[in-house]
Amino acid sequence: MATINASATISSDIASYPVTISGAMTMTKSANPSVGLEETTGLRTKKFTTTTAAVIVEHDELTDDKAHKVYIRNASGSRANFFYVAYNASAAAAGTAETIGKLYGGDWMLMPYNGNVNITVASSTATETQMLEYMVFADGIVAAKG
Amino acid sequence: MATTAQITITSPDLMPGSALNITANTTLTKAGVTADLDQKLSGVVKVTVGGPTEHRLGPLATEMAGDAHDIASYLYVHNKTTEDATYYVDFGIHETMIGRLYAGDWMFIPWNASDDNAELEIQAIGGTNIIEYCLFNSDVILPTAAA
| Count of CB pairs separated by less than 8 Å, A with B | 205
CA angle B102, B103, B107 (to 5 degrees): 60
> Does residue B26 belong to any structural domain of this protein?
no
> Does residue B41 belong to any structural domain of this protein?
yes
Which residues in chain B have Cβ-Cβ distances shorter than 8 Å to A40? 14-15
CB contact under 8 A, A21 and B72: no
Mean pLDDT of chain A: 93
From the list B68, B56, B69, the residue with the least C-alpha distance to B95 is B56
Of B98, B102, B136, the CB nearest to A113: B98
Of residues A74 and B139, more confidently modeled: A74
> Does residue A103 belong to any structural domain of this protein?
yes
> Does residue B52 belong to any structural domain of this protein?
yes
Please indicate if any CB of chain B lies within 8 Å of the CB of A57. no
| Chain A residue closest in CA terms to B39 | A14
Interface residue of A35, A64, A102, A125 to substitute, partner B, most B CBs within 10 Å? A102
Of A2, A69, A135, the CB nearest to B13: A2
Chain A segment 60-89 residues within 8 A of B by beta carbon are 66-69, 71, 73, 79-80, 82, 84-85, 87
Q: Is A141 left (phi over 0), alpha (psi -120 to 50) or beta?
A: beta
From the list A49, A73, A3, A7, the residue with the least C-alpha distance to B107 is A7
Which residues in chain B have Cβ-Cβ distances shorter than 8 Å to A13? 1-3
Domain span holding position B117:
31-137
Q: Is the pLDDT score of A9 beyond 90? A: yes
CB contact under 8 A, A101 and B112: yes
pLDDT at A3: 95
Distances (CA, A) of B93 to A28, A47, A97, B18, B24: 23, 28, 9, 36, 26
Rounded CA-CA distance B94/A118 in Å is 17
Distances (CA, A) of A120 to A89, B28, B114: 7, 22, 15
Percent of chain B that is helix, strand, coil (3-state, to 5): 0, 50, 45
Look at chain A and report how many structural domains it folds into: 1
Which residue type does A92 have?
A
> Does residue B19 belong to any structural domain of this protein?
no
Q: What is the pTM of this model?
A: 0.95
* B4 Cβ contact partners less than 8 Å away, ≥ 6 residues apart: A10, A11, A12, B25, B26, B27, B28
> Does residue B129 belong to any structural domain of this protein?
yes
Phi/psi at B75 (5° precision)? -120, 130
Mean pLDDT of chain B: 88
Q: What is the pLDDT of residues B2-17, one digit of tens each?
A: 999 999 999 999 998 8
Give the other-Cβ count within 10 Å of B109's Cβ.
26
Find the CATH number of the domain harbouring A126. Answer: 2.60.120.10
Q: Is the pLDDT score of B83 beyond 90? A: no
Rounded CA-CA distance B49/A51 in Å is 41
Residues A107, B28 contacting (CB under 8 angstroms): yes
Range of weakest confidence among A110-114, A119-123, B28-32, B86-90: B28-32
Q: What is the pLDDT of residues B45-69, one digit of tens each?
A: 999 988 778 888 878 777 766 667 7
Distance, CA of A26 to chain centre? 17
> Does residue A25 belong to any structural domain of this protein?
no
From the list A7, A132, A95, the residue with the least C-alpha distance to B93 is A95
**Could you give the ipTM of this predicted complex?**
0.96
Domain span holding position A101:
39-138
Look at chain B and report how many structural domains it folds into: 1
Find the CATH number of the domain harbouring B76. Answer: 2.60.120.10
> Does residue B42 belong to any structural domain of this protein?
yes
Residues B135, B38 contacting (CB under 8 angstroms): no
> Does residue B9 belong to any structural domain of this protein?
no
CA angle B126, B131, B133 (to 5 degrees): 150
Which residues in chain A have Cβ-Cβ distances shorter than 8 Å to B110? 85, 100-104, 107, 109
> Does residue A58 belong to any structural domain of this protein?
yes
